[in-house]
Amino acid sequence: MMQAVQYGDESALRAATERLRQLPPLVTSSEVETLKAQITEAQEGRRFILVGGDCAETLADCRDDIITSKLKILLQMSLILVHASQRPVTRIGRFAGQYAKPRSQPTEERRDAEGNALVLPSYFGDLVNREEFTAEARRPDPALLLEGYKHAALTLNFIRSLSRSGFADIQHLDNWDLRGLGASQLPKELQDSYRETSDEVRRALGFMSSFRDLKRDDLTKVEFFTSHEALNLEYEAAQTRQVPRRDGWYCLTTHLPWIGERTRDPGGAHVDFCRGLANPVGVKIGPGTKPSELKTLLDTLNPTNEAGKTVLITRLGDDQVASALPPLIEAIQAEGRHVLWMCDPMHGNTEITAAGRKTRSYDRVLREISEVMLVHRAQGTWFGGVHFELTGDDVTECIGGAAGITESDLDTNYATACDPRLNYRQALEMAFAVAREMKANHSSP
């Protein structure tokens, strides 16, 4: 099995997964069905989807300030996108479960102080092992499956409590203000643009509730959904179950599991697991994907062509969108498939600096989104969402943008457990840039 974890203690693994089966679900089937209905609306061009959060969550980051900062930046970005698209925006966080990460190699080699080579298992995320480069930390530990569940539950409990308290109500925009998120370091034009947008949304709520038959609650009452890569099948399967009065099997670790570029083989274990789920399922699509492969994948994952079921998340690279995306769209359109097209502009634009640091260019990330929008406009299809790796913190992991980060600045606060993320200022600037692109390239499906 691709990306399989080699647990050394099978009895400990069985004990951990059996306990996971007995624990309450992290999300509910009714929440999953609500998200599926919203994805259906997005497929029809009546909604936009924003996914954002950490590349790899860590257990240590299960803290109220870190969770709140992630929620605020998603809320602020979604407000900007609501204003630009004149449509409701669904917010989906890469949190409460994004603890497992795929790796290119199963092992990692480093040199010790004497220059001797030391080879250990790669870091596969806090659900599997620890980041520290020691034999003990890198040993896959089944107990971490339960730790991941516990921290996901704590995160979801806090998010739901905030939502119930009105934190995420657009009518209370002061909850989302810029104080405490590095606003003093934002360029004045971004501060002014955000405040102007907030004021316009306040004034426009009454009008927008009648625009395109939108209900006021669609715009003012904010729901949060969760999404993570369904990578560790021991964890996912243990929380997959049937529920009363509903057909099918639900993976209840998350609302929207997705299959990565490395594990989307139609004959592989990850696709086989996800094809049996009632959840909507995302699939990352890279530049080497052939139309015939994509059709086979959809035949496997969604043979009945159910609306709201399939989310295709392209991750092509800014220089490959124009050649790779049109044939895929044409193949799907020719067969009348119900899919939601989204763009992950991060993974196709990863670079390695001369010093060996992973980074991403703000300009390339934005250029990929712009190219994707142009293709969808030319094809007459609806571009339905964006998928970012980002944080509400002032990290220095991606170069460019209003923050003015260069390669020499990366070591200032390079804090990611895996891949580079947009920081708060870059994420907010990106939301405004995407909003401008949406207005320039708007095309109804």
Instruction: Give CA–CA dist 47/74, Å, rounded.
Output: 16
> What is the reported pTM?
0.90
Q: Is 219's pLDDT higher than 90?
A: no
Query: What confidence tens digit (pLDDT) does each residue in 220-272 have?
Result: 456 889 999 999 999 999 999 999 999 999 999 999 999 999 999 999 999 99
Find, among 398, 408, 311, 412, the residue nearest to 363 by Cα: 398
The whole-number average pLDDT for the span 149-167 is 90
Q: What is the CATH number of the domain that holds 224?
A: 3.20.20.70
Of 431, 298, 410, 283, the closest CA to residue 359 belongs to 410
Q: Are 417 and 53 in contact (CB under 8 A)?
A: no
Reported confidence tier of residue 79, pLDDT bands at 50, 70, 90: confident
Within 10 angstroms of residue 226's Cβ, the number of other Cβ atoms is: 26
pLDDT digit string, tens, across residues 353-396: 998 899 999 999 999 999 999 999 999 999 999 999 999 888 99
Domain count, the chain: 1
Domain that holds residue 243: 10-439
Q: Is the pLDDT of residue 88 over 60?
A: yes
Q: How many residues does the chain have?
A: 445
What is the per-residue pLDDT across 35-74, written as a single tens digit (0 to 9) for each? 999 999 999 999 999 999 999 999 999 999 999 888 888 9
pLDDT (0 to 100) of residue 222: 60
Q: Are 333 and 379 in contact (CB under 8 A)?
A: yes
Q: Encode pLDDT of 339-365 as tens digits.
A: 999 999 999 999 999 988 999 999 999
Rounded Cα distance, 433 and 15, in Å: 49
Residue 3 lies in a domain: no
Give the pLDDT score at 52. 97
DSSP β-bridge partners for residue 107: 121
Is 366 among the domain residues? yes
Residue 445 belongs to a domain: no
DSSP 199: H
- pLDDT the model gives residue 173: 53
Is residue 197 a contact partner of residue 178, using CB atoms and an 8 Å limit?
A: no
Q: At what angle do helices 362-379 and 321-334 cross, to 10 degrees?
A: 40
* C-alpha span between 307 and 304 (Å, rounded): 9
Query: Does residue 227 fall inside a structural domain?
Result: yes
The per-residue pLDDT for range 131-146, each reduced to its tens digit, is: 999 999 999 999 999 9
65 falls within a domain = yes
Alpha helices (runs of H) in 44-169, residue ranges in sequence order: 64-85, 135-138, 143-164
